[in-house]
Amino acid sequence: MSEPVVGYIHSTESFGSVDGPGVRFVTFMQGCRMRCEFCHNPDTWNIGGGKKITSQELLEEALRYRAFWGKKGGVTVSGGEPLLQVDFLIDFFKRCKAMGIHTTLDSCGMPFTYDEPFFSKFEELLEYTDLILLDIKHIDDEQHKKLTAWTNKNILQLAEYLSEKGQPVWIRHVLVPERSDYDEYLERLSEFVAGLKNVLKFEVLPYHRLGVYKWKNLGIPYKLEHIEPPTKERVANANRILRTQEYKGYLEV
For 243, residues 6+ apart whose C-beta sits below 8 A from its C-beta are 190, 194, 202
- Quick one: pLDDT at residue 2? 72
CATH superfamily of the domain spanning 6-251: Aldolase class I (3.20.20.70)
List of the chain residues with pLDDT < 50 = none
CA dist 113 and 134 (Å) reads 15
- Residue 82, Ramachandran bin (φ over 0: left; ψ between -120 and 50: alpha; else beta): alpha
- Residues 85-143: tens digit of each pLDDT: 999 999 999 999 999 999 999 999 999 999 999 999 999 999 999 999 999 999 999 99
Give the domain ranges of the chain. 6-251
DSSP 35-51: --TT-S-GGG-STT-SE
- Quick one: pLDDT at residue 1? 53
CA dist 244 and 252 (Å) reads 16
Beta pairing class for 74-78 and 131-135: unpaired
CA contacts within 13 A on the Cβ side of 48? 0
